Each structure stands twice: as structure tokens, then as C-alpha cells.
């Protein structure tokens, strides 16, 4: 185990075992965690899905680009209202089925939007991990100062500052500053999803609810008169389980409504919502990733042309200035939301399954959102200098991603030539730019 920092040790002491295990970044954690924690899709805490593999010995990492979701938070207002509305169907009864006995004394007591202590810890662990992985083997100043940006909402900025603090603690330097980018309507922000003409589809989630929820409803509807639960209520109770467990740092009583096998179904519900909302299944989603991918290619190549040509979400005032868009750093870290990471991975060409079927999940699908963008989830693009030239490698939840479906000449170990990757991204951003126009 790596040595604990002070705050981490004290925080862990009051944390239930499964959560502290997951947040420890131990690869085996997922095996020992309860299913609700690892199968809550966008509401799962971060856990690595594979051990980090060192690059081949003939290569070394020359640049690291991290696109990271904010850490665990309270529900958004929309999600909170949905959960409260489902809860109201359960309240005020004289008798309850055994799974719901706790309702006699239950009080809903979650905040809205703010980063949780668990989310701050996820962000600090990530900062420490980047230092240990990329900067500690040689002299600590070898990485220089990471360039950090955050989309301007409180939970995202606090995730970035917790990351920065932990990185600097390891580096024994002062915390790198954070450049924030406005989320106001009309602002150009490559870390924010804005597609007024491309609202997420709800159809597929509803079709899947009709498949998996009836058996759970039947178990709970043993009272007279019935609660009147529908599939959406079941989903909301599953979300309550996830949110309360992260907020209370203890397993929420709502988790007890579900059986082991139910969590696969709940996870698929989240996967469908993100796939048809912000991923491959929404024809306007990929355009939202163009700004970030153009910035990524500019960093990888050191060529500003890629940002200058962007007509999507890049703020050219910021990106034309080397103080606010430098190209000489080793580590770049951008903090954002899952609804931006989903378009970016889709545009790049990752996790591209045959279309997901709303009634028949493929257990071997690659689109598993608890691994793509859980709380604190991150996509990492490494640039590698190898004896055979410059390459890239992409990791999601630490698992090396296969690039063969879009990057010509990709190798089985996940490496692809930088020039092939750039060519693939030029094609993807050209198509994505057309799609972006249709958002407005
Ligand atoms: C870390 O996140 C917490 C939220 O849990 C926040 O209160 C705190 O200010 C953050 N720390 C820094 C250094 O930003
Ligand atoms: C671009 O960024 C600058 C500096 O933060 C800001 O003043 C300006 O409003 C932004 N422009 C747009 C279109 O977002
Ligand atoms: C989903 O899969 C089922 C079973 O294979 C099939 O009958 C159905 O047509 C599929 N739905 C779609 C939209 O492809």
C-alpha cells in the first residue's frame, strides 16, 4: 500500500469498508465491493477496472492528457426531485413489506449538487496517482507544473483544486493554479455539453424499465392499497441507494430493495441513458466532443492549427494565448462532467459496440458507464516516445483501450502511431463539426 497522506487516513477511519476499499484504488476492490457500488453506472464511485500496465520498455511517456469527471456529489436538483417524488409514494403507511420497514423512521436528507467528502477524496487520490505514476520515478520536478482547467461549476472546480492539492503535496511544490472556463449559456467551453437540438432520448430507458422493473415492483407491492410504483420509481430507489451510500458513507437502506442480479439491470439502465443521451446512440452527441479533441490533438502535436481551425466550442481568446493554452507541458488535466466525457469517447471511436438493444443487453458490450465516467472517472491519453517513433495509448479506468477500430496500424498492446491517431481524429472532428452545427 502506498503511504497515506494525513487527510486520507483520517477520512478513511470513518468510512465503511467497501467505500474506503474502492477509494483506495486497489484493483481488487471491485471484487470485494457490493454490486450497487460497482454497477450504478454514472453514480458509481471510481474504481480501476484493470491494473495499470507500464508502457513497453522501448517507450517512455512524454505527455499525459487527463479528462476527468468531478468526484462524487449530491444529486442534481432534477435527480433529487425525481427521488423525492418516488419516495412520496412510500410515505405514511401503517404497514410495510419487510424490505421497506425502515420507512417508518426514514428521512430524506441529501443536499444538492455539492461535492461530497468521498468525491474530494476521489479527486485527491487521482492527483496523487498521476504524480506517482508519471512523475515520481525520476526527479520530482521532471513533470513540471501540470496545466489544469475546470469547467466553472463548484463541484468541478473543487474536484480540480483537491486534485491540485494532492499532486502538489506529493511533488512538494505549491498547488498548480486552475483555469476555470465559464458554463454560462452562450459561453464557448470545450469542457461543457451544449446541444439544444439534441436532447437525450428517454425511450430506450423506458423500454428497459418495462423489462426489468415489474419483478421488483411485484416484490414490493404486497400492501393494500398498493403503493402504485412504476419502473421509474424503481430506478429512483436504485439512485437513492447509490447517492445515500456515498453521502452517508454507509450502505443506504434502499440498497436492500434490490437483489444481486437486479444491479446488472440497473447498470444497463444507466448505460442506455448515457449511450442514447450523450454517446454513440445520439446522432448529435459526438459534435460536443470536437472542441476537446481538437485541443488534445494540438497538445499531442504541438500544432496550434488544430485549435485555430475549430468552429465548435473552443474559446479562441483563451486558446490563442500560451498563458491560457500552453503547449509545453507534460501533464494536462481537464475537469468536466460525464455528459462531456461520453461525447469525447464516442467521437474518438472508443467503446463502439453495435447499437445497444433496449430490451436485450449484451453482457459483452463495451459501453459500461461505471467504467467510462463514474464519479471521478477519467480518460487518459498518453503520448509515448518509442524507439519505433511517437505513439499514443488511451486508458479508461486504467484499462488500456484497443484502438484498432479507428486507428490504422494499431498494435495489440494498445499503442498506435501518433500520425495515424491524428489522421483518425482529423476525420472524426470533420464529421463531428458537421454534427455540431445541427445542435443549434
Ligand atoms: C475539496 O473538496 C471539498 C468538498 O468536499 C471542499 O470543501 C474543499 O474546499 C476542497 N479543497 C480544496 C483545496 O479545494
Ligand atoms: C472567452 O474567454 C474569455 C476569458 O475568460 C471571456 O472573457 C470571454 O467571455 C469568453 N468568450 C466566450 C464566447 O465564451
Ligand atoms: C432487440 O433484440 C431482440 C432479440 O434479439 C429483437 O427481437 C429486437 O428486434 C431487437 N430490437 C431492436 C430495436 O433491434
Residue 317 beta carbon below 6 angstroms from any ligand 2 atom: yes
Give me the pLDDT at residue 6, please: 39
Give me the pLDDT at residue 32, please: 87
Across 340-368, average pLDDT: 97
The answer, yes or no, to whether residue 4 has pLDDT greater than 50, is no
14-49 pLDDT per residue, tens? 457 888 888 888 888 888 899 999 999 999 999 999
Q: What crossing angle do the helices spanning 117-130 and 231-248 adopt, rounded to 10°?
A: 70
pLDDT band at residue 202 using 50, 70 and 90 as cut-offs = very high
Give me the pLDDT at residue 329, please: 97
Give the closest ligand to the alpha carbon of residue 179.
Answer: 2
Across 178-182, average pLDDT: 98
Residue 216 located in a structural domain: no
Q: What are phi and psi of 368, to 5 degrees?
A: -120, 105
Give the closest ligand to the alpha carbon of residue 127.
Answer: 1
One DSSP character per residue, 66-124 reads EEEE---BPPPHHHHHHHHHHHHTTTT-S---GGGGGGGT------SSPBPHHHHHHHH
Separation of 359 CA from ligand 3 center, angstroms?
7
Residue 299 located in a structural domain: yes
Give me the pLDDT at residue 136, please: 83
Separation of 303 CA from ligand 2 center, angstroms?
22
Which range (133-137, 236-240, 338-342) has the least confidence? 133-137
Pocket test for ligand 1, best of 116, 158, 335 (most atoms within 8 A of CB): 158
Which range (26-35, 71-80, 132-141, 403-412) has the least confidence? 132-141
- Cβ atoms of 314 and 46 within 8 Å: the answer is no
The answer, yes or no, to whether residue 11 has pLDDT greater than 70, is no
Give me the pLDDT at residue 2, please: 37
Give me the pLDDT at residue 15, please: 57
> What atom of ligand 2 comes closest to residue 187's alpha carbon?
14
- Cβ atoms of 56 and 415 within 8 Å: the answer is yes
Residue 108 located in a structural domain: no
Residue 207 located in a structural domain: no
The rounded percent of the chain whose pLDDT value lies above 70 is 95
Across 43-71, average pLDDT: 96
Across 390-412, average pLDDT: 98
- Cβ atoms of 174 and 352 within 8 Å: the answer is no
Whose alpha carbon is nearest atom 5 of ligand 3? 360
Residue 277 located in a structural domain: yes
- Domain span at residue 401 reads 4-73+114-196+260-437
Residue 69 beta carbon below 6 angstroms from any ligand 2 atom: no
Across 314-331, average pLDDT: 98
The answer, yes or no, to whether residue 12 has pLDDT greater than 90, is no
For this structure, is 70 an active site residue? yes
Residue 252 located in a structural domain: no
With a threshold of 0.85, does the pTM exceed it?
yes
Pocket test for ligand 1, best of 5, 7, 161 (most atoms within 8 A of CB): 161
The rounded percent of the chain whose pLDDT value lies above 90 is 90
Residue 341 located in a structural domain: yes
Residue 249 located in a structural domain: no
Q: How is residue 241 written as a grid cell? A: 441507494
Annotated catalytic residue within 70, 239, 269, 391: 70
Separation of 315 CA from ligand 2 center, angstroms?
6
137-177 pLDDT per residue, tens? 664 447 999 999 999 999 999 999 999 999 999 999 999 99
For this structure, is 6 an active site residue? no
Annotated catalytic residue within 262, 319, 338, 398: 338
Separation of 113 CA from ligand 1 center, angstroms?
14
Give me the pLDDT at residue 404, please: 97
- Cβ atoms of 385 and 55 within 8 Å: the answer is no
Separation of 322 CA from ligand 2 center, angstroms?
15
Domains in the chain, number: 1
Residue 211 beta carbon below 6 angstroms from any ligand 3 atom: no
Instruction: For residue 297, give the CATH number of its domain.
Output: 3.40.50.1240
Across 104-116, average pLDDT: 97
Give the closest ligand to the alpha carbon of residue 114.
Answer: 1
The answer, yes or no, to whether residue 338 has pLDDT greater than 60, is yes
Amino acid at each position: 500500500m502506498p503511504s497515506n497522506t494525513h487527510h486520507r487516513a483520517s477520512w478513511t477511519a470513518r468510512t465503511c469498508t467497501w467505500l474506503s476499499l474502492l477509494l483506495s484504488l486497489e484493483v481488487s476492490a471491485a471484487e470485494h465491493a457490493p454490486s450497487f457500488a460497482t454497477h450504478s453506472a454514472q453514480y458509481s464511485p471510481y474504481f480501476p477496472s484493470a491494473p495499470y500496465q507500464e508502457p513497453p520498455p522501448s517507450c517512455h511517456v512524454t505527455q499525459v492528457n487527463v479528462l476527468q469527471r468531478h468526484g462524487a456529489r449530491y444529486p442534481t436538483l432534477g435527480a433529487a426531485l425525481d427521488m423525492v417524488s418516488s419516495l412520496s409514494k412510500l410515505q405514511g403507511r401503517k404497514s410495510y413489506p419487510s424490505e421497506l420497514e425502515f420507512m417508518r423512521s426514514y428521512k430524506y436528507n441529501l443536499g444538492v449538487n455539492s461535492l461530497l467528502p468521498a468525491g474530494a477524496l476521489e479527486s485527491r487520490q487521482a492527483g496523487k496517482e498521476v504524480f506517482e505514476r508519471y512523475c515520481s520515478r525520476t526527479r520530482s520536478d521532471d513533470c513540471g507544473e501540470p496545466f489544469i482547467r475546470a469547467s466553472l461549476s463548484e463541484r468541478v472546480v473543487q474536484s480540480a483544486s483537491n486534485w491540485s492539492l494532492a499532486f502538489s503535496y506529493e511533488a512538494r511544490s505549491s498547488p498548480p493554479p486552475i483555469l476555470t472556463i465559464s458554463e454560462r449559456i452562450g459561453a464557448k467551453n470545450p469542457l461543457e455539453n451544449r446541444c439544444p437540438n439534441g436532447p437525450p432520448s428517454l425511450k430506450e430507458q423506458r423500454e428497459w424499465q418495462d423489462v426489468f422493473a415489474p419483478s421488483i415492483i411485484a416484490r414490493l407491492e404486497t400492501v393494500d392499497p398498493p403503493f402504485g410504483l412504476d419502473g421509474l420509481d424503481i430506478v429512483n430507489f436504485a439512485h437513492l441507494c447509490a447517492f445515500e451510500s456515498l453521502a452517508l458513507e454507509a450502505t443506504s437502506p434502499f440498497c436492500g430493495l434490490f437483489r444481486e442480479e437486479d444491479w446488472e439491470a440497473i447498470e444497463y439502465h444507466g448505460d442506455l441513458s448515457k449511450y442514447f443521451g450523450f454517446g454513440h446512440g445520439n446522432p448529435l452527441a459526438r459534435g460536443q466532443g470536437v472542441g476537446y479533441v481538437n485541443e488534445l490533438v494540438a497538445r499531442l502535436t504541438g500544432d496550434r492549427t488544430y485549435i485555430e481551425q475549430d468552429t465548435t466550442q473552443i474559446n479562441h481568446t483563451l486558446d490563442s494565448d500560451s498563458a491560457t493554452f500552453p503547449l509545453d507541458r507534460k501533464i494536462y488535466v481537464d475537469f468536466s462532467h460525464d455528459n462531456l466525457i461520453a461525447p469525447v469517447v464516442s467521437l474518438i471511436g472508443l467503446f463502439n459496440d453495435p447499437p445497444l438493444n433496449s430490451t436485450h443487453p449484451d453482457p459483452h458490450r463495451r459501453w459500461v458507464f461505471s467504467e467510462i465516467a463514474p464519479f471521478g472517472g477519467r480518460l487518459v491519453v498518453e503520448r509515448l516516445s518509442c524507439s519505433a517513433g511517437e505513439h499514443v495509448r488511451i486508458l479508461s479506468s486504467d484499462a488500456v483501450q484497443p484502438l484498432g477500430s479507428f486507428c490504422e496500424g494499431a498494435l495489440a498492446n494498445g499503442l498506435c502511431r501518433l500520425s495515424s491517431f491524428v489522421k483518425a481524429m482529423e476525420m472524426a472532428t470533420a464529421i463531428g463539426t458537421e454534427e455540431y452545427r445541427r445542435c443549434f
